[in-house]
Chain A
Amino acid sequence: MKVLSKLQRYGLAAISCGIALAVAWPIDAPASCFLLAVMVSSLFGGLGAGLFSVAVSAIAYEHFFLWRIPSPAHEPAPLLRYTVFLAATLLTTGLMEMKRRAEESRNRAEEDLRQAHSDLARVSRMTTMGELTASLAHEVNQPIAAAVTDANTCLRWLMRDPPVVDEAREAASRTIKDATRAAEIINRIRVLFKKGVPQRDLVDVNEVIREMVVFLRSEAAQYSISVRMDLAADLPHVTGDRVQLQQVLMNLMINSIDAMRDVDGTRDLTIKSEPQENEQIMVSVSDTGVGLPPQQAEQIFDAFFTTKPQGTGMGLRISRSIVESHGGRLWAVGNPSRGTSFHLTLPIKDQADE
């Protein structure tokens, strides 16, 4: 419904009543014509204009039509008709207003739903990021410590008598390199936190996998996990939201790392990508961790299901809904030897629901 100004709305009401009056006079049908005017006014003008037209109609009806045909005294019919007319106009105005309010609340609900979706996506990113905080603190501390050392070295060269400027210059350059590296690490986090609308771009999934492996490198090193990538060359690009796909891969890889933390024996994290028939690609994330009892293979995707003391239980649930919104599937299978493999398929053509 277009938003009309107050003047336009009341003007509309007045004009409708005017037209109604002009039409009603010759055909002597005030009730129908004014009722029409009231309907038009409240439908297009809102509650205020509707009530205004009710008032104008009531006055016009009373003035021009009520006693037009003289009736015997104590004849209730014209007055009754008038009363019924008033009731009808007020009811009409009321109904129109209710319809308008219902529409408004439905629009608001749709908007709230859209907002909730985007908030959920952001929270899921933060949850995943919360899990990475310790690893990132470690990673960013390295270049900062190196910068402090290099800057002190620079000063030490300058405090010699005479100062050794060449060495000092080298040390200062190293300091800049260190600080730049720290900034790069921080930047990587910022990209994942950005609040944005889901994009639909062509995404090279192999590149996303490589990025996530680099991102989680120190986390994996911390638990002496060796990471292997078995990526198909010329893997077709997928239409989807790059940041969301990064999230899914990060979630799967963190889960694998967590599953292997306390395990004896080899700790291998393998990520494989390959094209499939029927225009799909498949990505598999496998670990040699604690493994999965078969009855839990579906349960782990439930909201709030977690085996971690600090877990939120939302990671896999959100990952699956992201994959499904891209038109793919995500599922888990226990490995025959040891550990679990997560498989996800993604269509090459855009089959995502909006």
Chain B
Amino acid sequence: MIAPPVAERYFTSMVIQTKAKLVAIVDDDELMRSALQGMLKSVGLASQAFASAEDFLKSGQHQQTACLIADIRMPGMSGLELQAKLNAEHCRIPTIFITAHGDTKMRMQALRAGAVEFLAKPFDDEVLLESVQAALEN
């Protein structure tokens, strides 16, 4: 669902005051990574972007990540596989999934495995930011 025009929406002054908490972005699409990093910067959040789930795990950043935004369908390890892997290592990072293929079965699977939110592209960025805020405050 695409968000209604800006004039009708209420922009909270979403400058989230938290300790320097890191948000990680995992998406194989470069444009998407830039867009998400730009979005987070505009609400005062630091973020780090990875082109694949493997890169994210290899970086060791997952130990310091306070929130993860991940795509589902990626070449190599998928978003759901990443979630499973993190769960297996008892690395409970609040995860928000964004995907162009959003079927209900996948949504249930992701939420059951502990995802904070599951959004279809194009997503309403207000909803995404609220989920990020919720994830960071826990």
Measured CB to CB, the residues of A under 8 A from B are 137-138, 141-150, 152-153, 155-157, 159, 167, 170-171, 174, 177-178, 181, 218, 220-222, 224, 226
**CA of A224 to CA of B80, assembled, Å:** 13
Question: Are B6 and A155 in contact, with the CB atoms below 8 A?
Answer: yes
Q: Assess whether B55 is interfacial by the CB under 8 Å rule.
A: no
A157-B42, A222-B73 are contacts. A145–B34 as well, Cβ < 8 Å?
no
Q: B10-46, CB under 8 A of A: which get 1 and which 0?
A: 0100100000000000001101101110110111000
> What 8 A-B pairs have minimum CB-CB distances, sorted nearest first?
A145-B122, A145-B121, A221-B75, A146-B35, A149-B35, A146-B31, A141-B100, A156-B42
Question: Are B39 and A149 in contact, with the CB atoms below 8 A?
Answer: yes
**CA of A167 to CA of B42, assembled, Å:** 8
Q: Assess whether B2 is interfacial by the CB under 8 Å rule.
A: yes
Q: How many residues of B contact A (CB 8 A)?
A: 30
Question: Are A138 and B122 in contact, with the CB atoms below 8 A?
Answer: no
CB distance from A156 to the nearest CB of B (A): 4
Q: Assess whether B56 is interfacial by the CB under 8 Å rule.
A: no
CB distance from B40 to the nearest CB of A (A): 9
By beta carbon, the residue of chain A nearest B77 is: A224
A142-B100, A146-B35 are contacts. A159–B11 as well, Cβ < 8 Å?
yes
CB distance from A267 to the nearest CB of B (A): 11
Residue from B2, B100, B101 in contact with A148 in the complex, judged by beta carbons closer than 8 Å: B2
By beta carbon, the residue of chain B nearest A137 is: B100
CB distance from A182 to the nearest CB of B (A): 9
A141-B121, A145-B32 are contacts. A152–B6 as well, Cβ < 8 Å?
yes
A148-B2, A171-B38 are contacts. A224–B29 as well, Cβ < 8 Å?
no
CB distance from B38 to the nearest CB of A (A): 5
**CA of A167 to CA of B37, assembled, Å:** 12
Question: Are B31 and A152 in contact, with the CB atoms below 8 A?
Answer: no
**CA of A224 to CA of B38, assembled, Å:** 29
Question: Are B35 and A167 in contact, with the CB atoms below 8 A?
Answer: no
Residue from A146, A152, A222 in contact with B3 in the complex, judged by beta carbons closer than 8 Å: A152
CB distance from A315 to the nearest CB of B (A): 24
Can you give 6 contacting A-B residue pairs, CB < 8 Å? A142-B29, A144-B122, A149-B32, A152-B125, A222-B73, A226-B75
Contacts of A144 in B (CB 8 A): 121-122
Give the residues from 118 to 138 in chain B that come closer than 8 angstroms, CB to CB, to chain A. Answer: 121-123, 125-126
Given contacts A141-B122, A149-B39, A152-B39, 7 further A-B contacts (CB under 8 A): A145-B98, A150-B34, A152-B3, A153-B39, A156-B11, A156-B39, A221-B75
CB distance from A333 to the nearest CB of B (A): 28
Contacts of B76 in A (CB 8 A): 224
Question: Are B100 and A138 in contact, with the CB atoms below 8 A?
Answer: yes
Question: Are A178 and B73 in contact, with the CB atoms below 8 A?
Answer: no
Question: Are B28 and A221 in contact, with the CB atoms below 8 A?
Answer: yes
Question: Are B121 and A224 in contact, with the CB atoms below 8 A?
Answer: no
Question: Are A146 and B100 in contact, with the CB atoms below 8 A?
Answer: no
By beta carbon, the residue of chain A nearest B81 is: A224
By beta carbon, the residue of chain B nearest A148 is: B122
**CA of A167 to CA of B24, assembled, Å:** 21
Contacts of A137 in B (CB 8 A): 100
Q: Assess whether B78 is interfacial by the CB under 8 Å rule.
A: yes
Contacts of A152 in B (CB 8 A): 3, 6, 39, 125-126
**CA of A149 to CA of B123, assembled, Å:** 8
Q: Which of A142, A144, A148 has the most CB of B within 10 A?
A: A142
**CA of A152 to CA of B42, assembled, Å:** 10
**CA of A144 to CA of B120, assembled, Å:** 12
